[in-house]
Chains A and B, each alone.
Chain A
Amino acid sequence: AQKITQTQPGMFVQEKEAVTLDCTYDTSDPSYGLFWYKQPSSGEMIFLIYQGSYDQQNATEGRYSLNFQKARKSANLVISASQLGDSAMYFCAMRERNQGGKLIFGQGTELSVKP
């Protein structure tokens, strides 16, 4: 069974608008962390934001915020005021405490920002 599901293979957004990238996860470990990474066409993986399973508030990092709904097991990434440079692949990943430092990645969403 998929542990991380990203149902949107591709998304388009107009420059300066907000966009939400979906991520649902599946785990029985009560302690876990959720991460979002950005992968531009050049290939490097850039860490964006982290949310812990026990965090009471949604994580925010600049224009990135995480809409964490624990009961629904979803951790959607919200990018506000999209910029052309936001065009990239975005990956959701999970780290379970009982699995050491390993990350499980979703299949990714390709975001295209239109001018």
Chain B
Amino acid sequence: SQTIHQWPATLVQPVGSPLSLECTVEGTSNPNLYWYRQAAGRGLQLLFYSVGIGQISSEVPQNLSASRPQDRQFILSSKKLLLSDSGFYLCAWSVQSKGTNQPQHFGDGTRLSIL
């Protein structure tokens, strides 16, 4: 069966520090991969998605970036964190499909607090 791992679970970082959040998927090949951010009490905002190694699409301009160095690895990074980067970050994967019936499956998330 497929599993998705996301770490760390919580992170406290000072303003201006770098960031690296990692997500890996097991039990499937060539998945679509996604990074979302969720502000407290709000819905999910799609940040990046990837349909293959090295292929990254950005949904919102910001100081974050994403990379996909391996088929089942997705990394969210920042060179200098801002206070506004605080939030709950979720990684997700889905089967590549031209249809609309494939759900996204989420990791447990990372709670990021910027001080």
- Co-complex (A, B): yes
Within the assembled complex, what's the spacing in Å between the Cα atoms of A87 and B24? 29
Give A108's nearest chain B residue, CB to CB.
Answer: B43
Interface flags for B80-108 (1: CB within 8 Å of A; 0: not) read 00000000101010101111111111111
Judged by DSSP, the binding face of B is: loop
Quick one: which of A64-115 are within 8 Å of B by CB?
91, 95-97, 100-108
A101 touches B104 (CB 8 A): yes
Total B residues in contact with A, Cβ cutoff 8 Å: 29
Total A residues in contact with B, Cβ cutoff 8 Å: 27
Give A96's nearest chain B residue, CB to CB.
Answer: B100
B104 touches A103 (CB 8 A): yes
B42 touches A101 (CB 8 A): no
Interface flags for B8-48 (1: CB within 8 Å of A; 0: not) read 00000000000000000000000010100000011110100
The smallest beta-carbon distance between B3 and chain A, in angstroms, is 12
A60 interface residue per 8 A CB criterion? no
A-side contacts of B43, CB under 8 Å: 91, 105-108
Given contacts A32-B100, A47-B103, contact A102 B46 (CB under 8 A): yes
A interface residues, Cβ below 8 angstroms from B: 31-33, 35, 37, 42-47, 50, 52-53, 91, 95-97, 100-108
B interface residues, Cβ below 8 angstroms from A: 32, 34, 41-44, 46, 49, 51, 59, 88, 90, 92, 94, 96-109, 111
Given contacts A101-B34, A103-B34, A103-B46, 6 further A-B contacts (CB under 8 A): A44-B106, A47-B105, A52-B101, A101-B51, A104-B46, A107-B42
